[in-house]
Structure 1
Amino acid sequence: MDTRPFYFGLIFIAIIAILANYLGNTDFSHHYHISALIIAILLGMAIGNTIYPQFSTQVEKGVLFAKGALLRTGIVLYGFRLTFGDIADVGLNAVVTDAIMLISTFFFTALLGIRYLKMDKQLVYLTGAGCSICGAAAVMAAEPVTKAESHKVSVAIAVVVIFGTLAIFTYPLFYTWSQHLINAHQFGIYVGSSVHEVAQVYAIGENIDPIVANTAVISKIIRVMMLAPFLLMLSWLLTRSNGVSENTSHKITIPWFAVLFIGVAIFNSFDLLPKELVKLFVEIDSFLLISSMAALGLTTQASAIKKAGLKPFVLGILTYLWLVVGGFLVNYGISKLI
């Protein structure tokens, strides 16, 4: 068996990931809040739609491994970024708000996309995952569960990146208007429970107030911790939607990487490892996720994205409006009840 396409592919992916990581740490990228994940998929798509087809057979096995196994490993190691102690820092208010926003946003997106926009189910579920939990990382985590094609994953990521970036500019303006209704702590929970990416949440908080920033990031982390139960729910929904009758015994596919993700987060909560080692795991995790994004970009055809049309972006803007308006109403209501 020729193993060269596997190792050449991993080396090729590593080169793209290193370049993306370097570009993601430049002043320009920090100023405009462009993450290495996004740069990796853009680089991958640029190469994938130009020179990659000329030598794809020589690296394909490694690229597919990065897109699959490395992605799952990256999601598992993501648990080292979280601890259950984070929940205590913001209280029950944030937990309840995050849970309501996650569930309502996903089902709002699914209903709108499938029933009214008549979109592809896999694409809708991926978009719903990204908008409901943690942007591109959630889309990537949902990909093995939905078994979606690369171009659908890329479209979903494009949607959550565009409207998550828009949030960076609109939420600070909204804070000025809403100060007489909710305080900085409550607004931080609102940001954390309704904005797509962790980096975007941090950027918004830093542009407003330190209290908003700290609360928003912790609220967002709690939302990220709901990724594993969400993936289990998504697996169940997909099993039900495949036309299996109630009288027929059926098997729900358990995304074990999601279960391991929670296991790692629980383990990390006990603070048993040296901080330097945890930091190393986080850095390895970042590189694995960047690598899998590069592989995703390489296997995405621009023609397939174009074929998806405007509907995904219509879905994205309507979901964004729900997150802004509906999210504020949910947060305001819960702040009065709890």
Structure 2
Amino acid sequence: MTSAATTISRGQATPGAPAPIGLLRLLPGLGVSAALAAAGMALGRIDWLQNHGFSALTLAIVLGMLVGNTVYPRFATASGAGVTFSKQNLLRLGVVLYGMRLTMQDIGHVGLAGVTIDALVLSSTFALACLVGTRWLGLDRKTAMLIGAGSSICGAAAVMAAEPVVRARAEQVTVAVATVVVFGTLGIFLYPLLFDLNQYWHVIPGGAHTFGIYAGSTIHEVAQVVAAARSIGPDAADSAVIAKMVRVMMLAPFLIMLSAWLARDDARRDEQDGATRNATTAPRKVTVPWFAFAFVGVVLFNSLQWLPAPVVAAVTEIDTALLAMAMAALGLSTHVGAIRKAGVKPLLLAAILFSWLVAGGAMINHWVPVLLG
């Protein structure tokens, strides 16, 4: 009788119970992430911070790290589930909705030369990151790849999007984002000076329009591109933003190819070592990032221009909030001690990549239009 009663009692408690319990477990962490994201977005509207390229995403992760390394450990147990949900699930949704900022028409504005420039800058920068980072500096592959993704595509958003593909730890992601902030901010002040020098050197012919393409194809984040190009002039700003958006559009195929390459490379290493993975280590499969396909779908949908401009603006604002929550959650999960342990090598790699973006990117921007006629 007791056994039957227990069974009945369990059966009655089970239906519908996990949903509210699961939601309640998420609420504290979601609340903390949302509060930090809102603060980051509010600070991101300050003119001085905007003019210096500090976006809401950058500010959200900084606030997250400040709270995460001070008061957050006191309530981390209660908030952990929601914070993890923010930096994983909300991140993917944010990457998908990022497509509302882009249209296929953007490609036409920069032409074949602009698309080729973006593709060459992306591939060469990421390849250099993997080669120099792992073979010369001795960094672990995941950190090198995340720094390479951030430098070659679109800064913090690319680092976050690549994180589930490379299976990185929170501190590795934060280190990569920090390098983007440092050198992207430096670019804001450097590129207007380079434009003045280019007036005499003519490394990049064509004036402000083509220099804007150079800036958009080589500066890390969208906010940093806008800040730098606006200092040059409206023509440079327009072409820089378009070139940057085309570069962002390459995020989806990059993630798919990266996933396939990692799966193939891991299988090759196992074969060369003559070892098989033990039962506790699952073999790496091609991680098809569904959110990358959804990102492309959103870009294609947005290209149809069926939605009114206010709706697109509202969705974009929601997307910024989602990404800011993900960045805040990442900051909460990051310990300063782990970043210190990473040392100066990640910063050195980022400096090398930044130098390549400035110098190598200038050569790519010079020769591609010449070769394509």
Same fold, TM-score > 0.5, yes or no: yes
Contact 1:150 1:296 in 2 (8 A): yes
Tell me the SS of whatever aligns to 1:242. Answer: helix
Larger radius of gyration: 2
Asked if 1:40 corresponds to 2:60, the answer is yes
The one-letter amino acid of 1:186's match is: T
**CA distance in structure 1 between the partners assigned to 2:172 and 2:188 by the alignment:** 25
Q: Which runs of 5+ in 1 are unaligned?
A: none
**CA distance in structure 1 between the partners assigned to 2:190 and 2:231 by the alignment:** 11
Partner of 1:82: 102
**CA distance in structure 1 between the partners assigned to 2:318 and 2:253 by the alignment:** 24
Asked if 1:109 corresponds to 2:126, the answer is no
Aligned length: 338
Contact 1:186 1:335 in 2 (8 A): no
Tell me the SS of whatever aligns to 2:267. Answer: coil
Q: Which runs of 5+ in 2 are unaligned?
A: 1-17, 277-282
**CA distance in structure 2 between the partners assigned to 1:119 and 1:202 by the alignment:** 32
Partner of 1:297: 331
Partner of 1:129: 149
**CA distance in structure 1 between the partners assigned to 2:195 and 2:75 by the alignment:** 51
Partner of 2:185: 165
Alignment of 1:180-329 (within 5 A): 180-181=202-203, 182-183=205-206, 184-244=208-268, 251-329=285-363
Distance change (3 Å), C-alpha of 1:92 and 1:7: same
The one-letter amino acid of 1:279's match is: A
**CA distance in structure 1 between the partners assigned to 2:85 and 2:211 by the alignment:** 41
**CA distance in structure 2 between the partners assigned to 1:28 and 1:199 by the alignment:** 13
* TM-score where L is the length of structure 1: 0.96
The one-letter amino acid of 1:149's match is: R
The one-letter amino acid of 2:45's match is: N
Q: Deviations over 1:211-265 (max 9, x none)?
A: 1111111001000000000001111121123234689998411001011001100
* TM-score where L is the length of structure 2: 0.88
Contact 2:50 2:227 in 1 (8 A): no
Partner of 2:7: none
Which of 48, 51, 61 is equivalent to 2:71?
A: 51
Asked if 1:147 corresponds to 2:167, the answer is yes
Asked if 1:13 corresponds to 2:33, the answer is yes
**CA distance in structure 1 between the partners assigned to 2:189 and 2:50 by the alignment:** 15
Contact 2:159 2:173 in 1 (8 A): yes
**CA distance in structure 1 between the partners assigned to 2:169 and 2:53 by the alignment:** 28
